[in-house]
Structure 1
Amino acid sequence: MAMEKNFPNYRVYGDYETDFSLHPVHLDDVNTSTQLNNWAIEPHRHDDLYHLAYFYGGDGVLYMKGEALSLKAPCFCAIPAGDVHSFYVEQTIQGYLMTISRSYLDELLESSASCLRLLDRPSYIHGGKRFFALIDPLFQQLKSEYTARKQARALIIRALISLVFSYLSRHEADNDRLSDQRSAEDLNLWYYRQFQNMIGYSVAEKRPVSDYAAELRISATHLNRVCRAVAGKSALKVIHDRLISEAKVNLAYTFQSVSEVAYKLGFDDTSYFSRFFKSHTGVSPSVFKARVRKPD
């Protein structure tokens, strides 16, 4: 049973039609786009599009996977393809929201493992004045090139996006004490990312690790080594974590009952789903649902 998608899968927010195969980058002014929607972007997802939000003024709240992040400008929010998210912002908000084809970014950033890592995890990035002094002019140039539509526009936009991700990955590496991996580790990262993508489309099917490994043309033992090298956990734990993540999203953002969420995630026994959820989170699904829905 393939997992149903319970949230709008937009191209650009509110729009199902924008063709990213021809124009892989879309740039919005955050203030303008949120004002049109009463300063709120309701829960939605983009299965093959990556979001990079840059806020340089104002504040708000980002909700992702049942958790709230307070947005204090200047800051970045990186939202991987497929992750359900929503924004609620003040009228003073200023910044940009870039929506970018994931395949375009994969090709653009393939030479840098540290840049590619940014595409697979949600991030809240806050830096000092020196950091944003580097980043802000790049976004001003991006806005100019995006709106002017002059000769060599696509090439310049590619160069500017490359610079943005290079500075972001360097900033993250400095903070996390991470560095680019060597070729063998790059291959591990590639396998891991392919594995994650496969899980995203079949998490409710309860496929064994060996099935994913066979599709990747490696052994289950090899896939476990990859996951431990990249994420510090087994392949089965990666699958379980994705199940829990999807469960949290459905419990937090929909009015479905615990049993309905369990069924959509491939659990025939609600009691087993509740035990599974509690073993990974420390609380039952009903308690989690009550907590995230409790008004401030």
Structure 2
Amino acid sequence: MATTIPNFALYGEQSGLSWENFFNVERISLRSKDINWRANPHVHDSLIQVLFIQRGQVEVLMNYSRQQARAPCLILVPAQTVHGFHYTPDTEGLTITASQRPLESVITTLAPDVLKLIHKPCIIPLEYYPEEKDIVWQFYCSMMNELRVPMINQTAMCASLCISLFVHLSRIIDLNVENQQIDNSSRKASQINKFLAIVDQKFRQRLTVNDYSCEMGMSPGHLSRLCRLTLGMSSLDVINMRVLQEAQRELVYTSKTIKQLAAFLGFNDEAYFTRFFHKHAGVSPSQFRERAVREIAMGEEYV
């Protein structure tokens, strides 16, 4: 597992925080062929992505979970989600990339119940909804056509299409909620979901893997094997990723001192927290915050 998570705008391109009204549609093969069909774990600060997998298969990493997604399906990746993809070479489809903040502003006013959808990373299978699949594909094609040449009020039109897409996706999910999860009925998936829920609830307590395994009713070795088999990482990696994710968000969104943040995350020693953060993020907490402040000053807003 990589210790430093790259921060990109589009994959492989330097992140830019000033893309307040950014919209893009491109074929998945456009970038994937050049990177041997594998996008390593990375994060987008302010951009949300929705991938329409028209054909092929994708191994998807999103935050703590690793899943298999088969065409036809949609992959929703909100801003600030650590994600990576490994496509089969026959994979094709379209990816919409958009600034999340302006979409949230409009959805909050017009369809607040849709907010929960754009905040949660998920895979939405479409194989049981052929008519809905065709409607969703038309949203993608309409946006691609809109972006072919510069036009008056193009941002407004793209935002309208994106919002319409999310509203339609929320309706698809409501048709059959159980199809939102992949292999969720299996015993291993049930155990992993339980572990992730416990981690999310207790990661600030700095519990050991042994503490978590006791609560799960299994040995530490069994828990780690389960995580590696299902998620592709150890149980300790899962715990540390959750702590790092929270630390990065607190550094950007709050004014806590490093000492206060260390205590908030359950570290008794500020120096130990700093070493932990540097090991997993590649920079110190102070350097991470300074970079964020500098980018805020250069751009519109750190979303």
Q: Which TM-score bucket, shorter chain as reference?
A: 0.5 to 0.7
After TM superposition, the structure 1 = structure 2 runs for residues 1-296 of structure 1, keeping only pairs within 5 Å, are 6-110=4-108, 111-127=110-126, 128-176=129-177, 241=200, 267=206, 272-278=207-213, 281-283=216-218, 287-293=222-228
In the alignment, residue 90 of structure 2 is paired with which amino acid? T
Q: Judge conservation of contact 1:42–1:87 (CA < 8 Å) in 2.
A: yes
Fraction of identical pairs, as percent: 20
Q: State the SS of the aligned residue for 1:147.
A: coil
Greater CA deviation, 135-144 or 99-108? 99-108
Checking the alignment, whether the CA contact within 8 Å between 1:50 and 1:102 is kept in structure 2 is: yes
8 Å CA contact 2:213, 2:223 repeated in 1: no
CA shift in 2, pair 1:33/1:279, >3 Å = farther
Can you give the 5+ residue segments of structure 2 that lack an aligned partner in the other structure? 179-195, 233-303
Amino acid across the alignment from 1:68? R
- Mapped to 2, the partners of 1:100 and 1:121 lie a distance apart of 16
Kept after mapping to 2: 8 A contact 1:80/1:120: yes
Are the structure 2 counterparts of residues 240 and 61 from structure 1 closer, same or farther at C-alpha, using a change threshold of 3 Å?
closer
Count of residues in correspondence between the two structures:
209
Q: 1:151 to 1:283 in 2, by over 3 A?
A: farther
Gaps of 5+ in 1: 178-236, 245-264
Aligned CA distance change for structure 1 residues 238 and 133 (closer, same or farther; 3 Å): same
C-alpha separation in 2, matches of 1:82 and 1:164: 21
Checking the alignment, whether the CA contact within 8 Å between 2:7 and 2:15 is kept in structure 1 is no
Name the SS for the 1:109 alignment partner: helix
How far did residue 96 of structure 1 move?
A: 1.6
> Deviation at 1:22?
4.3
1:152 Cα deviation after fit = 2.5
CA contact (8 A) 1:20 1:101 kept: no
Q: Alpha carbon RMSD of aligned pairs, Å?
A: 3.0
Opposite residue 200 of structure 2, the aligned amino acid is D
> Cα deviations across residues 126-183 of structure 1 (Å, max 9, x unaligned)?
2311111211111011111123222222121111112111100111122239xxxxxx
Query: 1:149/1:283 Cα in 2 relative to 1: closer, same or farther (>3 Å)?
Result: farther
State how far apart, in whole Å, the 1-side matches of 2:62 and 2:215 are.
18
Deviation at 1:27, TM superposition (A): 2.6
- Deviation per CA, 1:233-281: give whole Å up to 9, x if none: xxxx98951665xxxxxxxxxxxxxxxxxxxx773xxxx4224432565
Deviates more, 1:82-91 or 1:144-153: 144-153
TM-score w.r.t. length of structure 2:
0.60
Change (3 A) 1:280 1:50: farther
Q: CA deviation at 1:28?
A: 2.8
Return the letter of the residue paired with 1:157: C
Whole-Å separation in 1 of the counterparts to 2:53 and 2:170:
18
